[in-house]
């Protein structure tokens, strides 16, 4: 079990990062043969990303339900796009298979959103939490002094 940190912390970074939301929605729960391959494809990509840090993938959080979402952190948009287009990686074959399947059925949908976050353009707070979200990526520091409030953290130099 991950250790809960009792301190009031904020994650900081001198570098920008990419926040990438990706997921799928099960539109027909009974069409498991349609949505399970999409789900399993992501299961193959995550180990690949963790084993190859040079790809630029930093970390993720995941929530599951009818709509599954992964909140991912990447070093840069360039590295994210390079992975998406890499012919020797898991993503491109999965993307091609989905595009072929989606013409036959509306049983599963997918989505993604990409946000480029410049240094100093985000803030966060963690208390009584294990490392989570950007707290697994950035440098954890006490949320005190000039980092006490959200507005101070956003304007911190």
| CATH architecture for residues 17-117 | 2-Layer Sandwich (3.30)
Q: What pLDDT sits at residue 22? A: 96
Q: Are 111 and 49 in contact (CB under 8 A)?
A: no
Task: Find all residues with CB under 8 Å of 154, minimum gap 6, and list them.
Answer: 120, 121, 122, 123
Q: Could you give the 3-state DSSP secondary structure of residue 59?
A: strand
Q: What pLDDT sits at residue 65? A: 95
Q: What pLDDT sits at residue 149? A: 95
CB atoms within 10 A of CB 145: 9
Task: Find all residues with CB under 8 Å of 132, minimum gap 6, and list them.
Answer: 61, 126
Domain limits, the chain: 5-13+118-155, 17-117
- The Cα 142–Cα 16 span in angstroms is 20
Sites in the chain below the pLDDT cut of 70 = 156-157
CB atoms within 10 A of CB 144: 11
* Euclidean distance between the first and the last CA atom of the chain, given in angstroms as a whole number: 35
**pTM (2 decimals)?**
0.92
Query: 122-133 pLDDT, tens per residue?
Result: 999 999 999 999
Q: What pLDDT sits at residue 155? A: 81
Query: 52-62 pLDDT, tens per residue?
Result: 999 999 999 99
């Amino acid at each position: 079990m991950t250790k809960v940190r009792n301190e009031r912390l904020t994650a900081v970074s001198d570098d920008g990062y990419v926040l990438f939301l990706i997921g799928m929605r099960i539109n027909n729960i009974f069409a498991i043969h349609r949505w399970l391959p999409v789900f399993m494809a992501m299961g193959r990509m995550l180990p690949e990303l963790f084993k190859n840090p040079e790809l630029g993938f930093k970390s993720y959080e995941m929530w599951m339900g009818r709509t599954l979402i992964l909140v991912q952190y990447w070093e840069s948009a360039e590295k994210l796009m390079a992975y998406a287009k890499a012919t020797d990686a898991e993503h491109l074959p999965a993307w091609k298979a989905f595009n072929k399947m989606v013409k036959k059925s509306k049983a599963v949908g997918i989505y993604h959103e990409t946000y480029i976050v410049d240094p100093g353009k985000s803030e966060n707070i963690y208390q009584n939490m294990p490392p989570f979200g950007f707290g697994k990526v950035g440098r954890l520091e006490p949320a005190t002094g000039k980092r006490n409030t959200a507005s101070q953290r956003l304007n911190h130099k």
